A and B are shown apart, each in its own frame.
Chain A
Amino acid sequence: MTKHPKIRFGAKPKTLKSYFTGLILSLLLTVAAFYIVMKHDMTPTATYLTLAGLAVAQLFAQVICFLRLNTTREGASNTLAFVFSLLVVAVLVVGSLWIMWNLNANMM
């Protein structure tokens, strides 16, 4: 009864509008990322942080507009798997870097 008629394979309907929105957002975020690096206006730390922010923003733009992940009942299991993967990826990457930097510092 609660089935959302338009959700197919756990994804929201793919429309021309969603694809164009995704394309334009991705273009803007990509151009911004290349621009700040080629312009060399910011301090390295500020550049790293901005680049990370732009990449994560583009991740969400494409996941929402292209893959059409959503929080409806039918799409929830896909989104839950995605969020869990983000968590594991964060533990893996941050944990590895933490260990290796500590190791590096202690070997000096």
Chain B
Amino acid sequence: MTSTTVDHHHHAHGHLDHDDIDVFGFWIYIMTDCLLFATLFATFVVLRGATFGGPALGQLMSLPYVFGETMFLLASSFTYGLAMLSFYKQHRNWALTWLLVTVVCGAAFVFMEVREFIELYIEGHSFQTNAALSAFFTLVGTHGTHVSIGLIWMVLMIFQLFRYGTTAAINRRLTYLGLFWHFLDIVWIFVFTVVYLMGAV
């Protein structure tokens, strides 16, 4: 309590310390990433019917398969939360365990997506086939790339947490990654709704 009061005197103008401002900055980056995805969604919706005489996108997708992908990504978002809760309680090993589970779920998601892309390519539905497929691969691939980068980042954080323990710096970095990871799950809601479900209506 006393330390909080002292803290306030040091920051005469208010309520934010450096870490708060840094995390807010990262949040602004996440919001600009929203705009990137918004442009790709707009492009996709405009071009999704432009199949150049080929089959509609909806006929190329398997909904149960996409449901499986969705479950892996949602599970990883949840287990990331469990990792943070363990971190707050200073349980380093539990936090490490949950981060590993999160990596496994995220990797399963990326694996399934890459497999889907490869199967489409083998069947002759590639990026160059028509505008609809170009827009599809760009949108879904950009999301998948984000998830892959998040996975690399998470592996790095596992090493850092293992090496340095539950420090304030690690807390800040895991908060960044948490914002990024939950954000990607939120973008995926719109990917499976707009690309896969609306494509199958």
Q: A72-108 interface mask toward B, CB cutoff 8 Å, 1 = contact, 0 = none?
A: 0110011001101100110011001100100000000
- Given A73-B15, A97-B42, CB of A15 within 8 Å of CB of B85: yes
CB pair A85 B31 closer than 8 Å: yes
- 0 or 1 for each of B161-190: is its CB under 8 Å from A? (1 = yes): 000000000000001000100110110011
User: Among residues 59 to 94 in chain B, which have CB atoms less than 8 Å away from a CB atom of chain A?
Assistant: 63, 67, 70-71, 74, 77-78, 81-82, 84-85, 88
CB-CB under 8 A for A59 and B23, given A19-B82, A34-B67, A97-B45: no
Q: Is the CB of B197 within 8 A of A51?
A: yes
In this complex, the interface size class of chain B, counting residues with CB under 8 Å from chain A, is: 35 or more
> Are the CB atoms of A92 and B189 closer together than 8 Å?
no
Contacts of A81 in B (CB 8 A): 24, 27-28, 31
Q: Which secondary structure characterizes the binding site on chain A? A: helix
Chain A hits for B193, CB < 8 A: 33, 51-52, 54-55
Chain A residues with Cβ under 8 A from B149's Cβ?
Answer: none
Q: Contact at A77–B24, with CB atoms within 8 Å?
A: yes
Q: Identify which of residues 14-68 in chain A touch chain B, using a CB-to-CB cut-off of 8 Å.
A: 14-16, 19, 22-23, 26-27, 30, 33-34, 37-38, 44, 47-48, 51-52, 54-55, 58-59, 62-63, 66-67
A-B residue pair count with CB separations less than 8 angstroms: 117
* Residues of A contacting B42 in the complex (Cβ-Cβ under 8 angstroms): 92-93, 96-97
User: Is B128 positioned at the interface, with any CB of A under 8 Å from its CB?
Assistant: no
> What separation, in Å, do the CA atoms of A22 and B178 have in the docked complex?
15
Given A33-B197, A62-B186: A3 in contact with B39 (beta carbons within 8 A): no
Between A and B, 12 residue pairs with Cβ closer than 8 Å are A14-B84, A16-B85, A19-B81, A22-B81, A37-B200, A55-B194, A77-B24, A85-B31, A88-B38, A92-B38, A93-B38, A97-B46
Query: Which A residues contact B (CB, under 8 angstroms)?
Result: 1-3, 5, 9-10, 14-16, 19, 22-23, 26-27, 30, 33-34, 37-38, 44, 47-48, 51-52, 54-55, 58-59, 62-63, 66-67, 73-74, 77-78, 81-82, 84-85, 88-89, 92-93, 96-97, 100
A-B contacts besides A92-B38, A100-B46, 12 pairs, CB < 8 Å: A9-B19, A9-B175, A10-B24, A19-B78, A19-B82, A34-B63, A48-B198, A62-B189, A66-B185, A78-B27, A81-B28, A89-B35
